[in-house]
């Protein structure tokens, strides 16, 4: 597995204005952007709620295609796991430790939900970055705030129209 920074998608390079046509892979697949489907039935209720919440963020950006559903599902599962761990912590009045009585006395241990949240938060942060949903990723692109008949994202959407 090669190390280093992951490659920047061409669509993101077009939006940033850093695309160099001579370096472009002209044979790369160009899937069309499409709305994400409803949550799969096999997800638990928290993961389904996360799916809907994330879909409401991503669909207006028109950056997802059918090829992104697996990565999107992983992102929804990560958010669902975080919410599940937070719900468990809430049952214990947000206490991060619990008491264990052993033959040697009383010891305090960190609740496993803390580790679950930390682990899945790292995974979620990486996935949000890949979809351009973090503040750092948003700073790399500029948006036209003037609402008009022509959608400024059409020019940069993968497989989208470049004519006004």
Q: Which of 101-105, 133-137, 138-142 has the highest mean pLDDT?
A: 101-105
Q: Which of 1-5, 6-10, 93-97, 147-151 has the highest mean pLDDT?
A: 93-97
The per-residue pLDDT for range 93-102, each reduced to its tens digit, is: 999 999 999 9
* Largest separation between any pair of C-alpha atoms in the chain: 76
Determine the 3-state secondary structure of 150 from DSSP: coil
Of the pLDDT bands very low, low, confident and very high (cuts 50, 70, 90), residue 15 is confident
pTM as predicted: 0.70
The per-residue pLDDT for range 65-79, each reduced to its tens digit, is: 888 899 999 999 999
The per-residue pLDDT for range 38-50, each reduced to its tens digit, is: 999 999 999 999 9
CA 131 to CA 36: how far, in whole Å? Answer: 13
The secondary element (H helix, E strand) that includes residue 87 is helix 69-91
Read off the tokens for 62.
């028109």
Mean of per-residue pLDDT scores for the chain = 83
């Amino acid at each position: 597995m090669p190390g280093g920074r992951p490659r920047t998608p061409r669509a993101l390079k077009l939006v940033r204005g850093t695309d160099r046509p001579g370096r472009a892979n002209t044979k790369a697949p160009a899937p069309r952007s499409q709305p994400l489907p409803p949550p799969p039935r096999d997800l638990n209720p928290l993961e389904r709620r996360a799916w809907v919440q994330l879909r409401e963020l991503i669909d207006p950006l028109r950056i997802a295609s059918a090829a992104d559903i697996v990565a999107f599902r992983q992102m929804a599962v990560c958010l669902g796991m975080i919410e599940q761990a937070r719900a468990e912590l809430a049952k214990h009045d947000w206490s991060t430790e619990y008491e264990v009585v052993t033959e040697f006395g009383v010891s305090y241990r960190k609740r496993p939900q803390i580790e679950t949240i930390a682990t899945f938060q790292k995974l979620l942060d990486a996935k949000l970055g890949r979809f351009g949903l973090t503040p750092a990723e948003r700073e790399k692109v500029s948006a036209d705030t003037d609402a008009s008949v022509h959608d400024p994202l059409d020019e940069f959407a993968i497989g989208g129209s470049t004519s006004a």
